[in-house]
Amino acid sequence: MIKKILFFSVIAVFMFSGFLSCNQNRAPRKGVILEKRELVLTIGASEKLEYILTPEAEGQTLVWVSSDPNIVRVSEDGVVTAVNFSTGGSMAYASIFGTGQANVTVSTENGKFKDTIKIAATTQGQVNILSLPPIKDQFSSYFIMGNIYNPADASPAEIVTEHLIYHYSMLTPENNMKPSYLAPDPNSYNFQTADRMVNAALASGLKVHGHTLLWHSQNSAWIKRVPDRYNKDQALVVMKKYITDVVTHFKGRIYSWDVLNEVFPDGVSSRGDWRQVMRKENPWYAAIGADFVYEGFLAARLADPNVILYYNDYNTDQAPKAAMIRDMVRDVNERYRREYPNANRLLIEGIGMQEHHNTGVTASSIRATINLFRPLGVKISVAELDVLGQSWSTFRDIGAGIDKHGTSTVTNEGLMDQARLYGEYMKLYMENADIIERVSLWGVTDDKSWRSGGLPLLFDSQGRAKPAYYSFVGALDN
């Protein structure tokens, strides 16, 4: 008689629908006795089912069969994978956290034993973030894995938010290194909070990416008044002093800097001159003109010759904006080569592709941009990755802001589309790992995202892995 005791252990990566597959090399969760013949799995998640047999049954082959492989797939050795939550019904797709049911039967080849396990496949997260293998370890052979952090995540001695240390190896301050935080007045700086954050990250063994020196937004009042108070030459002196002071202060502690952020508006033409189509609301462009780009990067390079210098922007999947970025980086680096012929590095060494996406952004459009940037010889970073579980037009009604997850209009279908895209994006990034230095997510759990109403991250508000997580790491097996 076979003892009806069922053990299972998680293997952390699976494939979602036709594109996710289980991988038994993942670090398993600690075994748990399943007293009932029921199991709940998030879409994309897998469990290995193992029976302990009495001596007379040993040597018998176990046969595993799923009653509906479109909902739950089972392998020859008893690994069940949640594939989908429903076989049809528009209402199921329009709701949130739907569940599909399938029965998995296990029997001996000689037919003397048979048992049934009920499997529920759901879009709702089930596994806690700290019960999964570290993301940074899973992708260590491809690129640096990063995320953002805030003052509450850092004590004077270390990073205190456990999942940041556990899953990521580089952190970007979400706000506290922006000009409005560092320079409230033209001749005084407020480095206290940023210093604490940077030192805590380094003490915890993490790299820090500085964000950002020059931007059209989140500037102190004195920076906004620069075009009105100074002529071009004076403004250039002021800008270079600011960059020099900040970069010198953090010299040796920052791995890379966003020197310039979002200089191009939406709607630029690919046939335009990058020098003429920058945001007019950028105070440095308004005061100095297009030369501020070269001079700003040069000031940062002279202040810290070892730090990696990035240009950072969003909507880089849109061809006209990507073309303007390409032209600017090319021209600035060519000027640097002419003026510093003995330099052994580029001036703009990297382009940060923010990757704040929605379900309408295809992997093919991102591929086209990577191919456009590749001839520049620069590094690329996926700098601020999140993916709305819905279209931009649908999300727009809710708008940006944290803690809007409770009023989200994301559906089951949206969560599945989101997961599919995360997998497609990650596969593309891995194919270009020779030039992609870093993949940084812009947040950890949905509720604390700046776009929380679109449920854009890998983990839900309770810190549980969503279908998006399993698709994200599932790219490793595709």
Just list the catalytic residues.
262, 313, 384
User: Element (H or E) spanning 66, and its range?
Assistant: strand 62-66
User: Element (H or E) spanning 85, and its range?
Assistant: none
Q: What is the largest CA-CA distance in the chain?
A: 92
Spatial CA neighbour of 258 closest among 334, 346, 349 = 349
Check if the beta carbon of residue 149 is closer than 8 Å to that of residue 171: yes
Spatial CA neighbour of 366 closest among 328, 422, 416 = 422
Give the integer Cα–Cα distance in Å for 474 and 422. 9
Q: Which residues pair with 387 in a beta bridge?
A: 357
User: Strands of 79-82's sheet, edge to edge?
Assistant: 32-34, 6-11, 46-51, 79-82, 72-74
User: Element (H or E) spanning 429, and its range?
Assistant: helix 412-431
Query: Number of H helices and number of E strands within the chain?
Result: 15, 18
Q: Specify the amino acid at residue 386.
A: D
Give the integer Cα–Cα distance in Å for 37 and 474. 27
∠ CA 217-223-224, rounded to 5°? 65
Calculate the alpha carbon distances from 76 to 61, 71, 80, 101, 337 in Å: 10, 17, 10, 20, 60
Locus of tokens 């679109």: 454
Q: Is the dihedral of CA 436, 364, 172, 389 positive or negative?
A: negative
Spatial CA neighbour of 329 closest among 347, 315, 313 = 347
